[in-house]
Chain A
Amino acid sequence: MAGPTTPPATGGRVLRRTTTRNARRLTAGTVLISLHQVCEALVPVLIGVIVDRAIGPGDGTSLLWWLAGLAGLFTVLTIVYRYGARTLMRALAEETHLLRLEVAGRIMDPRGIETELRAGDLLTISSSDAEKASYIIDYIPRATGAVVATAVCSVTLLFIDVPLGIAVLVATPLALLALHLATPRITRRVAEQQEMMGTAASLATDLVSGVRPLQGIGAEAAASRRYAEVSQKSLAAALRAARTQGVYNAVSNASGSLLACGIAVAAGWFALRGRITIGEFLTIIGVAQFLMAPVGLLAVIPGWIAEARASADRIARVVSAPVLHTDDGAPAGPAVAASPGLAVRGLRYGTLDTIDLDARPGEFVGIVAHRGTDADALVRVLSGRVVPHEYDGQVLLGGEPLGGISLADARRTMLVEPHRTDLFEGTLAANLTAGADGDADPAAVSGALAAAAAGDVVSAHPEGLAYEVVERGSGLSGGQRQRVALARALLARPPILVLHDPTTAVDTVTEQAIAQGVRDLRHLAGTAAFTTVLVTNSPAMLAATDRVVVLDGGRVVTEGIHAELGATDDDYRRAVLR
């Protein structure tokens, strides 16, 4: 997703890449915007000329000519701005889009990334930070335009009076340099403020996500108070930043004004002594006044860039976060057999203490764990959310170790349906066929629905399969969500299917139907195409399996056929009897 080049590791690199990949539009926009600034700088020059040549001597013809010149200047000014700004906006919008996609792509990277950031932070990074970082495309032309305008002003001033022009050329960078010293402090304050805002947004995200449990115990008020506390901290950080920014604004504004003031006073002194004309004096005043804008801009721009940089840093933290599975050399790895079995050899991970398991091709195996943590650990390893070097032992798909085949191959071969069901926005049909590569015929869909006893979910809605699933399937009951997810898993027809407690929200009678449905769909007599591993201790489900493996204390304690184990093993009976 991230392309062939390595992702930028620092905010600075993110910004540098932004400028290089938008070089053409950025250049064109910068030229046009600088031209616009030149036009703006010429306006006070023309005002001085008009006073000097037309108003002073009372020359009407001259007034008309120079007004025509002013009109021409404004026309050029408007046109270059429009095209320059539009060009830059296109670049900026495109860059925001690209950064947003890059962050999202990284977060969604199938290899997984290591990050301590929360969903709320990630959302902030992919939305507002992507935009703030892209604004560098706006800042560069503005800064360049300001520099050009300052240069034009200086040339004008030099043309009128050399010592005065030199004074401006020296004083302006000095004032800027002094202001620049304050920027690290501003950056720090802004970063603090942004971080607090992120924390507040994360908390809001978390509380809103848990709104149902909150309301269930009447904790809305307590949750609101908790948010209010964080919000007040965020306010305090914002005020600290505003205080620093205010001082900075005061200093930059005052120094800009003083600069203009010094120039004007010097020019006035020259004019009083007759060294320059009134028109030249006015031009100097106008230019000096105008100069405040670019100088002021140059003073605040470092703050803006710092903000873009802070955002870019956070983007860099996501896009350069290390991936969990380094897929090196794996694409060249061996292909997995058409009807693979699943084997676990000497697995130690979490609470698991050396596990050996086998699900032979075509077998329907139940796994009963006395301890929930054992089941969770096993499913975690199988699902690939744990990197092979984090556990001891091997997981073999069709004889190939999980770390030795490509991630894509592994995921194609084995589907681990998470216990916590996620449905997505879209129609029921789209949700059901999510894993079927879109080539699910209606018969297959209704077959999977029947096997998962999910037919009633479709028939409960007048739209049928076209029913729009709203966020996370919240319009459906827990049982309905589970059965739709199960149908989705069955429809994907993975060679190996691992189900983790797929029927916890389903009643006993329906559970029995589902057990039979899964068996009929994947394990018809004489076929060995599909292997199914069912982690559960629902007896209704276990009764349909070929064989049951029992885990306790992180080890395999016994194996056998469900009915036999039930008849002979007291521990087993307790585990599945409930």
Chain B
Amino acid sequence: MSQQSEQSHQSEQSEQPDEHLLPIANSRTTWRWLGGRLRERPAALALTLLVGLLGAAAAVVPAYALGILVDRVRDGAGSSAILGIAVTIAAAALVGGAATGLTSYLVARLGGQILAMLRERTVSRALTLPVTTLERAGRGDLLSRVSADVAEVSNALVERIPVVISSTLLGTLTLAAMSSLDWRLGLAGAVAVPLYVLALRWYLPLAMPRYAKQRKTVARSSQRLVESMQGRRTVHAYGLQDRHLENIDMASRSSRDVSVWVFDLFTRFVGRVNRAEFGGLSVILVTGFLLVREGTVTVGQAAAAAVLFHRLFEPIGMLLFVFDEVLAAGASLARLVGVVKMPPEQEREQEQEQGPGQVSGAPGQVPADASLDLTDVHFAYAGGADVLRGISMRVPAGSRVALVGSTGAGKSTLAAIVAGSLRPRRGTVQLGGVSPAALGTDGFRGRVALITQEIHVFAGPLIEDLRLASPGATVQRATEALTTVGALEWAEALPEGLDTVVGEGGHELTAAQAQQLALARLVLADPAVAVLDEATAEAGSLGARLLEESAAAATRGRTTLIVAHRLTQAASADRVVVLEHGRIVEEGSHETLVGAGGRYAQLWSAWESRTPTSPDNKVRLA
């Protein structure tokens, strides 16, 4: 029956399209990573092992002592012979208890610290991933790593790892104790070891891919959940909840089936473990029988060996029982390490494959000024045709250039390239004569800011949202930034002013307010170059004019590249660049281009005609 389900799952697996999930570290990398972290804490590691060893020793003592008691009984010793033994095992019980408790705490501490470091690095790495990678992989995958996988690993730390450690130590000490009775009894006990190992070696290769599959199914299931929860408004507006629930149902169902399938294998493994127990126990009993008959060991020693071995059933069973959970935690760990270990060079490699253009100038160079130079920039999205074809342009320091063009002309792509989110396939971008590669990611991001139409209000107090752009910014600086963008009035009118909790779960801001907040962050980040991609348009045409003023104030004195959907933005810029099909078709000042009667003039007249009264519409931004 389980054979069948195995096959059906495998075929299902091969039918599924390969998803672009984030990388998962292989077991060697995972172990090496873990080993490295443990070596960083030698004292804590040594203490943990020492206390664990003490606990195991305390657990072996009673059975050993009772073997002695059996022989004293057979020797007809007086009832006072019990006293020493009673004291010994009572002391062992107390020491063993304390050591067990301490071990579980020490393991939780050691592991907790490593786990905290791991999840912090995972999030940190996730936040620096190229947006293209993150979106392709899907956020649900990453989210399930930072929530479900972190939970899995931390559960393992608190409940499983102490068991693994204490059981292993106990097993080792028990075999040593049996050998000290008679080496042949020790050998008889060791017979069980290969049986256990065989069982594990049968199980692990079968289980590993099942756990991997289980992880993937869970990731998929949570991806479905996240998408539906985030898009709840649309789901409700279209009455799509049933369909979305159906999708969640399907994903959850397959996650359910996989966990049953994984467990069925585990129960077969347990059967093999029982066989190993029976094998070991019967060999010890037979060996004891023969040795007693031969007169080399006492009945008490033979009995103690059997009792010691039987005593291992529970801890070994626990060890094997948690083994699959440790494996599951290992799979979670591999998924976390997979993110942490994503090479930061990945982008650079791509760049080297795709275009040699970027690497000019030695690292650590300082830009001469805040001017932007684009030379022969080409760009294509993966597998597609070029969307930018040979863009060359210059934005002098402190000036404003507007990009104009119809949908699909490549404006946003160009903005993303200038802001460093995308890398050109060919050609160069230079800031003050220095390439982004030479500036390094931090150096570049510190100088060039990008506001896209994707607005996000970070959950928490408003002031903390602003402080993301400038950690430790004083209330005064935050207030000034809000004043600059004209947001102070509404911000102070919030229920608790700047301390009002906004974003998900907090006070809901309007689109225009959220956008002003983004501009205030820009002011606080204080970059030399600002790239605004449809930043004002997203608030809706309602607050657009106000936002244009906010944007103009936020970018004053900065080299600014604006993707202009509204031609007033272009009209107020120092220069206008008109893009069509990935090429520059016109550039010049607003007046020049209007006078030239080309594409821009055509757009401008379309813009003018939308305002019913044209005579006085020389409207400019204040």
Q: Any chain A CB within 8 A of the CB of B193?
A: no
In residues 456-493 of chain A, which contact B (Cβ within 8 Å)? Answer: 456, 460, 470-472, 474-475, 477-480, 483, 485, 488, 492
**Distance between Cα atoms of A359 and B93 in the complex (Å):** 83
In residues 97-149 of chain A, which contact B (Cβ within 8 Å)? Answer: 97, 100-101, 104-105, 107-110, 112, 116-120, 122-124, 126-128
**How far, in Å, is A137 (CB) from chain B's closest CB?**
12
With known contacts A128-B151, A208-B146, A265-B89, A507–B565 Cβ distance under 8 A: yes
- What does the 1/0 interface line of B418-431 toward A look like (CB < 8 Å)? 01010000000000
Which segment, of A4-12, A166-174, A367-375, A522-530, faces chain B?
A: A367-375
Q: Any chain B CB within 8 A of the CB of A376?
A: yes
Q: Which residue of chain B has its CB nearest to the CB of A252? A: B97
Q: Which residue of chain B has its CB nearest to the CB of A304? A: B159
With known contacts A215-B131, A223-B468, A258-B93, A435–B238 Cβ distance under 8 A: yes
With known contacts A101-B252, A250-B101, A412–B239 Cβ distance under 8 A: yes
With known contacts A117-B505, A218-B527, A86–B267 Cβ distance under 8 A: yes
Q: Any chain A CB within 8 A of the CB of B402?
A: no
**How far, in Å, is B284 (CB) from chain A's closest CB?**
10
Which segment, of B171-179, B182-190, B287-295, B588-596, faces chain A?
A: B287-295
With known contacts A245-B104, A425-B227, A212–B454 Cβ distance under 8 A: yes
Q: Any chain B CB within 8 A of the CB of A349?
A: no
Residues of A within 8 A of B26 (CB): none
Q: Any chain B CB within 8 A of the CB of A538?
A: yes
Q: Any chain A CB within 8 A of the CB of B270?
A: yes
Which segment, of B371-379, B388-396, B611-619, faces chain A?
A: B611-619
**Distance between Cα atoms of A90 and B263 in the complex (Å):** 9
Interface pair A218/B108, CB less than 8 Å apart: no
**Distance between Cα atoms of A254 and B58 in the complex (Å):** 11
Q: Say which residue of B230, B243, B252, B619 sits within 8 Å of A472 (CB atoms).
A: B230
**How far, in Å, is B128 (CB) from chain A's closest CB?**
5
Residues of B within 8 A of A85 (CB): 263, 267, 270
Give how many B residues have a beta carbon under 8 Å from the other chain's beta carbons.
Answer: 181
Q: Any chain A CB within 8 A of the CB of B342?
A: no
Instruction: Give the most central of B72, B100, B113: most A CB within 10 Å.
Output: B100
**How far, in Å, is A144 (CB) from chain B's closest CB?**
18
**Distance between Cα atoms of A43 and B115 in the complex (Å):** 41
Q: Any chain B CB within 8 A of the CB of A556?
A: no
Interface pair A93/B260, CB less than 8 Å apart: yes
**Distance between Cα atoms of A239 and B109 in the complex (Å):** 6
Interface pair A235/B74, CB less than 8 Å apart: no
Interface pair B136/A470, CB less than 8 Å apart: yes
Residues of A within 8 A of B292 (CB): 55-56, 58
In residues 10-46 of chain A, which contact B (Cβ within 8 Å)? Answer: 40, 43-44
Interface pair B100/A249, CB less than 8 Å apart: yes
- What does the 1/0 interface line of A238-272 toward B look like (CB < 8 Å)? 11011101111111111101101100110011011
Q: Say which residue of A77, A116, A246 sits within 8 Å of B505 (CB atoms).
A: A116
With known contacts A242-B158, A261-B93, A420-B233, A86–B227 Cβ distance under 8 A: no
Q: Which residue of chain A has its CB nearest to the CB of B234? A: A422
Q: Which residue of chain A has its CB nearest to the CB of B1? A: A86
Interface pair B469/A472, CB less than 8 Å apart: no
Residues of A within 8 A of B81 (CB): 272
Residues of A within 8 A of B575 (CB): none
**How far, in Å, is A241 (CB) from chain B's closest CB?**
8
With known contacts A122-B229, A460-B408, A543–B610 Cβ distance under 8 A: yes
Q: Say which residue of B69, B112, B282 sits within 8 Å of A70 (CB atoms).
A: B282
Residues of A within 8 A of B311 (CB): 289
Instruction: Give the most central of B94, B223, B236: most A CB within 10 Å.
Output: B236
Residues of A within 8 A of B544 (CB): 504, 578
**Distance between Cα atoms of A63 and B287 in the complex (Å):** 11
- What does the 1/0 interface line of B308-328 toward A look like (CB < 8 Å)? 001101100000000000000
Residues of A within 8 A of B408 (CB): 456, 460, 477
**Distance between Cα atoms of A47 and B306 in the complex (Å):** 7
Residues of B within 8 A of A1 (CB): 241, 245
Interface pair B264/A86, CB less than 8 Å apart: yes
- What does the 1/0 interface line of A51-95 toward B look like (CB < 8 Å)? 100111010100100010011001001100110011001100110
**Distance between Cα atoms of A89 and B285 in the complex (Å):** 35
Interface pair A217/B522, CB less than 8 Å apart: yes
Q: Say which residue of A226, A478, A510 sits within 8 Å of B538 (CB atoms).
A: A478
Residues of B within 8 A of A63 (CB): 285-286, 289
**Distance between Cα atoms of A277 and B178 in the complex (Å):** 24
In residues 403-442 of chain B, which contact A (Cβ within 8 Å)? Answer: 405-408, 412, 419, 421, 442
Interface pair B288/A55, CB less than 8 Å apart: yes
Interface pair B459/A206, CB less than 8 Å apart: yes
Q: Which residue of chain B has its CB nearest to the CB of A100? A: B252
Q: Any chain A CB within 8 A of the CB of B120?
A: yes
Which segment, of B38-46, B196-204, B348-356, B445-453, faces chain A?
A: B445-453
- What does the 1/0 interface line of A406-424 toward B look like (CB < 8 Å)? 0010011001111111111
Which segment, of B8-16, B29-37, B273-281, B362-370, faces chain A?
A: B273-281
Interface pair B241/A70, CB less than 8 Å apart: no
Q: Any chain A CB within 8 A of the CB of B249?
A: yes
Residues of A within 8 A of B139 (CB): 208-209, 471
Instruction: Give the most central of B240, B278, B540, B565: most A CB within 10 Å.
Output: B540
Interface pair A578/B566, CB less than 8 Å apart: yes
Q: Which residue of chain B has its CB nearest to the CB of A255? A: B97
**How far, in Å, is B177 (CB) from chain A's closest CB?**
14
Interface pair B231/A422, CB less than 8 Å apart: yes
Q: Any chain B CB within 8 A of the CB of A151?
A: no
Residues of A within 8 A of B119 (CB): 200, 204, 231
Interface pair A434/B252, CB less than 8 Å apart: no
Q: Any chain B CB within 8 A of the CB of A156?
A: no
Interface pair B310/A372, CB less than 8 Å apart: no
Q: Say which residue of A74, A216, A241, A272 sits within 8 Å of B72 (CB atoms).
A: A272
Interface pair A501/B540, CB less than 8 Å apart: yes
**Distance between Cα atoms of A443 and B241 in the complex (Å):** 27
**Distance between Cα atoms of A382 and B236 in the complex (Å):** 13
In residues 238-255 of chain B, which contact A (Cβ within 8 Å)? Answer: 238-241, 243-245, 248-249, 252-253, 255
With known contacts A208-B127, A420-B233, A118–B505 Cβ distance under 8 A: yes
Interface pair A219/B521, CB less than 8 Å apart: yes
Residues of A within 8 A of B314 (CB): 290, 292-293
Residues of B within 8 A of A257 (CB): 62, 92-94, 96-97
Q: Any chain A CB within 8 A of the CB of B534?
A: yes
Q: Any chain B CB within 8 A of the CB of A346?
A: no
**How far, in Å, is A415 (CB) from chain B's closest CB?**
6
Interface pair A81/B270, CB less than 8 Å apart: yes
Residues of A within 8 A of B234 (CB): 417-418, 421-422, 424, 485
**How far, in Å, is A552 (CB) from chain B's closest CB?**
11
With known contacts A108-B228, A264-B66, A372–B510 Cβ distance under 8 A: yes
Residues of A within 8 A of B527 (CB): 217-218
Interface pair B612/A81, CB less than 8 Å apart: no
Interface pair B525/A97, CB less than 8 Å apart: no
**Distance between Cα atoms of A261 and B96 in the complex (Å):** 12
**Distance between Cα atoms of A60 and B285 in the complex (Å):** 11
- What does the 1/0 interface line of B536-554 toward A look like (CB < 8 Å)? 0111111111001000000
Residues of B within 8 A of A197 (CB): 150-151, 154
**Distance between Cα atoms of A209 and B521 in the complex (Å):** 17
Which 8 interchain pairs have the tightest Cβ spacing? A254-B97, A250-B101, A566-B612, A422-B231, A246-B105, A218-B445, A257-B93, A210-B456
Q: Give 11 pairs: A residue, B residue, CB < 8 Å, sorted on A.
A: A204-B147, A211-B131, A222-B469, A225-B471, A231-B120, A246-B102, A286-B310, A478-B452, A504-B537, A508-B567, A578-B568
For the complex with contacts A505-B453, A505-B534, 20 further pairs of A-B residues with Cβ separation under 8 Å are A81-B274, A86-B264, A116-B505, A119-B230, A213-B456, A216-B450, A226-B464, A242-B108, A272-B72, A282-B307, A289-B310, A372-B512, A420-B233, A505-B565, A507-B405, A507-B565, A509-B406, A539-B610, A566-B611, A573-B611
